[in-house]
Copies of this chain bind each other. A is one copy, B any other.
Amino acid sequence: MAESLGNMKRTHMCGTLRTSNIGNEVVLMGWVQKRRDLGGLIFTDLRDRSGIAQIVFDKDVSEEAFIKAEKIRGEYVIGIRGKVRKRESINPNLPTGEIEVFVEELKIFSQAKTPPIYIEDEDEVSENLRLKYRYLDLRKPKMQKNLMFRHKMAKITRDFLDENGFAEIETPMLTKPTPEGARDYLVPSRVNPGKFYALPQSPQLFKQLLMVSGMDRYFQIVKCFRDEDLRADRQPEFTQIDIEMSFVDIDDVLSLNEKLIQKIFKEMLNVDIELPLQRMSYKEAMERYGSDKPDIRFGFELKCINDIVKNCEFKVFSATVENSGDVRGININGYADAFSRKNISKLEEYVKTYGAKGLAWIKVTNEGVNSPIAKFFSDEEMKKIIERFQAKEGDLILLVADKPKVVFDALGHLRVEIAKKLDILDKNEYKLLWITDFPLFEYDEEEKRYVAKHHPFTSPMEEDIDLLETEPYKVRAKAYDIVLNGIEIGGGSIRIHDSELQQKMFKALGFSQEEAWEKFGFLLEAFQYGTPPHGGIAYGLDRFVMLLTGNDSIREVIAFPKTQNASSPMTEDPSTVDKRQLEELHIQIVE
């Protein structure tokens, strides 16, 4: 049976001991990382959240402790009282490497079976095993570091927002199902038979109602839910830093958030971010990077050559331009030698996954242009192409001709894929920028109608309001995304604060007046009782922390994530429930 603490009280955390502690009597508690018997002594590394200290059992110091110590094995939980001594053989890799503790008293709080995974950062086991034994996986120093990082970053965020007059206000987890957007998680109501709550996809409407209520500056670090198929950066539940402010326009939201971002980078990574951050319109981002979340740590920017090739003999290009398509390309400058024909074929396969039909290429060599399509171009045309891409010897131009959307998508992804292959991305370089001037609507090919690019509460630019009913695809939104190294970490907008304009917006989205009122009547009604201009933003905390800690999956920065199958191998949820429980909820399972 486990020993109890008795009157043993911890005095220090293991990882904090230094030479200044030499001579001190200390009490440490933690897990046995390893044990070595050497020269009649027992050495163990004792581990807690702060790090590791070497402790030594010596018969001459305490025979009782020594005899007891012979039982201890890896992952036993123990407490020791002892004196700090200078270590003879210094371990320069350990902050505590200059000292060791000679034990006078030992308590064994808990024995341990051999764990199924090693408590070491490099343990290469399956993710499933890691999640089944998450409580062991979280003992790894890197996992503890990730969770502490997350805690500290949330703390800094809260401190900053509090100092700037924001109040954290909790919004409901049991809310109204929404027909728009992603799939809801539903919760059957026992008291209201046949009715359901939804877990919130975001507190969007509640935070807007808080602005209507005059709360002025709101924030919340809050769980949100989407029942979508999972990927490395998606979980059924995720955490948002959610912010909303009254009496503001775009500049106010952006400048406040820049200061928050600057503070986070400084305090978490000691990285200085220069303000104001770069701003780029959606249009420019698409044309230069083929993406509304461009990674601007490197070049390979897109160029359009429609004007050059519209009458060329290469029919793939000229026909594309004729049919309102685009011919665009990127110059992988300086890396022509890195790509053999075989490698370029692989790149072609890659762009095909984004709908492109092919990938044309032009190498500039010391013997002139090398390209399977060179023969279709006049010298003049080829010269212009080379000029357009400012290509010189050793460069590789890659070209895609298709519908604009496909061209942007293919080249936007291709430039990032190539940068990764070339390993030219510096994980310690942080390039942030705002993307602005988004279109308010985008055409949904499946639904054959315009849908809101952000959400239906986003304000159009004032100067574009008149276009709402005539040319909605031309209307720009007061929306903005913040992008870090090619990943969107947050986004928001100035909202509509006028009931009439909100109704126009619903109309443009194809809702009848009845539908609009049935779905969002409480918001339309609220807007009739005095609503301030307002706007806000939401960050994906998991993803933000993932990027700053250099991880590739948000599962590394969440204590108890779900698998791709939305289940937990540890607690074995979801699970079956009693018939009685379902009866109380007025539902039954359909086989």
What is the interface of chain A, defined by CB distance below 8 A to chain B? Answer: 1-2, 4-5, 9-10, 29-32, 47-49, 75-77, 79, 109-113, 115, 133-139, 144, 147-148, 150-151, 154-155, 158, 162, 167-177, 179, 183-199, 205-206, 209-210, 212-216, 223, 225, 227, 229, 236-237, 239, 246-249, 252, 462, 497-498, 500-501, 522, 526-533, 558-560, 562, 565-568, 570-578, 581, 583-591
Task: Name the residue on B nearest A252 (C-beta).
Answer: B9
Q: Find out whether the CB atom of B581 lies under 8 angstroms from the CB atom of A184.
A: yes
Q: Find out whether the CB atom of B528 lies under 8 angstroms from the CB atom of A112.
A: yes
Residues of B within 8 A of A137 (CB): 213
Residues of B within 8 A of A185 (CB): 174, 187
Q: Find out whether the CB atom of B215 lies under 8 angstroms from the CB atom of A522.
A: no
**What copy number does this chain have within its complex?**
2
Task: Name the residue on B nearest A578 (C-beta).
Answer: B179
Report how far A293 CA is from B79 CA in the complex, Å.
36
Shortest C-beta distance, A515 to chain B (Å), equals: 13
Task: Name the residue on B nearest A194 (C-beta).
Answer: B589
User: A568 is contacted by which of B134, B176, B229 (Cβ under 8 Å)?
Assistant: B176
Q: Find out whether the CB atom of A47 lies under 8 angstroms from the CB atom of B214.
A: yes
Residues of B within 8 A of A76 (CB): 530
Shortest C-beta distance, A30 to chain B (Å), equals: 7
Q: Find out whether the CB atom of B155 lies under 8 angstroms from the CB atom of A168.
A: yes
Q: With A170-B223, A195-B574, A195-B576 given, can you name 4 additional A-B contacts, CB distance below 8 Å?
A: A113-B528, A148-B167, A155-B162, A205-B571
Residues of B within 8 A of A588 (CB): 587-588, 590
Report how far A248 CA is from B170 CA in the complex, Å.
32
Report how far A150 CA is from B151 CA in the complex, Å.
21
Chain A contact surface mostly? loop
User: A214 is contacted by which of B139, B581, B584 (Cβ under 8 Å)?
Assistant: B139
Q: Find out whether the CB atom of B247 lies under 8 angstroms from the CB atom of A79.
A: yes
Shortest C-beta distance, A529 to chain B (Å), equals: 5
Q: Find out whether the CB atom of B560 lies under 8 angstroms from the CB atom of A206.
A: yes
Q: Find out whether the CB atom of A1 lies under 8 angstroms from the CB atom of B498.
A: yes
Residues of B within 8 A of A562 (CB): 172, 174
Q: Find out whether the CB atom of A175 lies under 8 angstroms from the CB atom of B522.
A: no
Q: Find out whether the CB atom of B139 lies under 8 angstroms from the CB atom of A109.
A: no
Q: Find out whether the CB atom of B574 lies under 8 angstroms from the CB atom of A173.
A: no
Residues of B within 8 A of A148 (CB): 167
Residues of B within 8 A of A196 (CB): 574-577
With A49-B216, A530-B110 already in contact, the answer to whether A497 and B2 are too (CB < 8 A) is yes
* Most chain B CB within a 10 A radius of its CB, from A29, A184, A575: A575
Report how far A526 CA is from B137 CA in the complex, Å.
12
Q: Find out whether the CB atom of A174 lies under 8 angstroms from the CB atom of B237.
A: yes
Residues of B within 8 A of A109 (CB): 497, 531-533
Q: Find out whether the CB atom of A77 lies under 8 angstroms from the CB atom of B589.
A: no
A-B contacts, 30 listed (Cβ < 8 Å): A2-B498, A31-B530, A77-B530, A77-B531, A110-B497, A110-B498, A111-B530, A112-B528, A113-B529, A135-B209, A136-B529, A150-B169, A155-B168, A170-B559, A173-B223, A174-B225, A176-B572, A179-B578, A183-B584, A189-B574, A191-B565, A192-B567, A194-B576, A195-B574, A195-B576, A196-B574, A196-B575, A197-B573, A206-B559, A586-B591
Q: Find out whether the CB atom of B1 lies under 8 angstroms from the CB atom of A500.
A: yes
Residues of B within 8 A of A194 (CB): 576, 589, 591
* Most chain B CB within a 10 A radius of its CB, from A76, A79, A111, A214: A214
Q: Find out whether the CB atom of A151 lies under 8 angstroms from the CB atom of B173.
A: no
Shortest C-beta distance, A161 to chain B (Å), equals: 10
User: A247 is contacted by which of B10, B32, B248 (Cβ under 8 Å)?
Assistant: B10
* Most chain B CB within a 10 A radius of its CB, from A2, A75, A197, A252: A197
Q: Find out whether the CB atom of A187 lies under 8 angstroms from the CB atom of B186.
A: yes
Residues of B within 8 A of A139 (CB): 213-214
Q: Find out whether the CB atom of A190 lies under 8 angstroms from the CB atom of B183.
A: yes
- List the 10 closest pairs (A to B, CB-CB), nearest first: A138-B213, A112-B530, A195-B574, A176-B573, A75-B530, A151-B167, A189-B574, A2-B498, A176-B571, A135-B212
Report how far A29 CA is from B246 CA in the complex, Å.
9
User: A248 is contacted by which of B5, B30, B186, B522 (Cβ under 8 Å)?
Assistant: B5
Report how far A520 CA is from B195 CA in the complex, Å.
31
Q: Find out whether the CB atom of A170 lies under 8 angstroms from the CB atom of B558.
A: yes
Residues of B within 8 A of A133 (CB): 529
Shortest C-beta distance, A241 to chain B (Å), equals: 13
Q: Find out whether the CB atom of B177 lies under 8 angstroms from the CB atom of A575.
A: yes
User: A186 is contacted by which of B177, B188, B559 (Cβ under 8 Å)?
Assistant: B188
Shortest C-beta distance, A174 to chain B (Å), equals: 6
With A138-B215, A559-B171 already in contact, the answer to whether A532 and B192 are too (CB < 8 A) is no
